[in-house]
Amino acid sequence: MPIDRPTDLDAALASLSDVPSAHLLAGGTDAMVEITFDQRRPEHIVALRRIPELRGYRVDDDELTFGAMLTYTQVERELASTAPGLAMAARTVGSPQIRNTGTIGGNLGTASPAGDTLPWLLALDARVELRSVRGSRELSLADFVTGPKRTAREPDELITAVRVPRVEGPQHVAKLGPRNAMVISVAMAAVIVDTTNRRVRAAFGSVGPRPIRASDAEQQVSDAIDWDALTCPDDAIVHFADACAEASQPISDHRSTADYRRHAVAVLAARSLRRCLAA
Task: State the binding string over 18-47 for other proteins (x if CB under 8 A, else -).
Answer: ---------------x--xxx---------
**Residue in 185, 206, 222, 248 binding other proteins, rule: CB under 8 A:** 185
Q: Which of 178, 228, 229, 235 binds other proteins (CB under 8 A)?
A: 178
Question: In a 3-state reduction of DSSP, which class is residue 189?
Answer: strand
- Cβ atoms of residues 67 and 59 within 8 Å: no
Smallest CA-to-CA distance from 100 within 120, 136, 80, 71 is with: 71
The residue among 44 and 137 lying less far from other proteins, judged by its C-beta, is: 44
- Per CB under 8 A, the list member of 71, 74, 92, 112 interacting with other proteins is 92
- CA angle at residue 66 from 161 to 129, to 5 degrees? 20
Among 62, 81, 180, 229, binds other proteins (CB under 8 A): 180
Q: Measure the CA angle with vertex 233, ends 232 and 235; round to 5°.
A: 130
> With binding defined as CB under 8 A, does residue 260 bind other proteins?
yes
Distance CA 57, CA 216 (A): 32
Cβ proximity to other proteins, 76 vs 194, nearer residue:
76
For the chain, the straight-line distance linking the first and the last C-alpha, in angstroms and rounded, comes to: 52
Q: Under rule CB under 8 A, how many of the chain's residues touch other proteins?
A: 34
Site string for other proteins, 237-256 (x = CB under 8 A): -----------------xxx
Which parts of the chain fold into alpha helices (H)? 9-18, 31-36, 72-78, 84-91, 96-101, 104-110, 118-123, 141-144, 215-224, 234-247, 258-278
Span interacting with other proteins, options 46-54, 128-136, 181-189, 219-227, rule CB under 8 A:
181-189
Q: Assign 64 to helix, strand or coil.
A: strand
Single out the segment in contact with other proteins by CB under 8 A; choices: 66-74, 154-162, 183-191, 204-212. Answer: 183-191
Q: Which of 13, 51, 86, 88 touches other proteins by CB under 8 A?
A: 88
The CB-of-181 to other proteins minimum distance in angstroms stands at 4
Per-residue three-class SS string for 123-168: HCCCEEEEEECCEEEEEEHHHHEEECCEECCCCCCEEEEEEEECCC
> Quick one: which of 123, 264, 269, 276 contacts other proteins (CB under 8 A)?
264
Residue 192 found at the interface with other proteins (CB under 8 A): no
The region of 21-29, 127-135, 176-184, 192-200 touching other proteins under the rule CB under 8 A is 176-184
What 8-state DSSP symbol labels residue 78? H
Binding other proteins (rule: CB under 8 A), the pick from 81, 135, 179, 228 is 179
Binding site for other proteins (CB under 8 A): 33, 36-38, 88, 91-92, 172-186, 254-257, 259-260, 263-264, 267-268, 271, 275
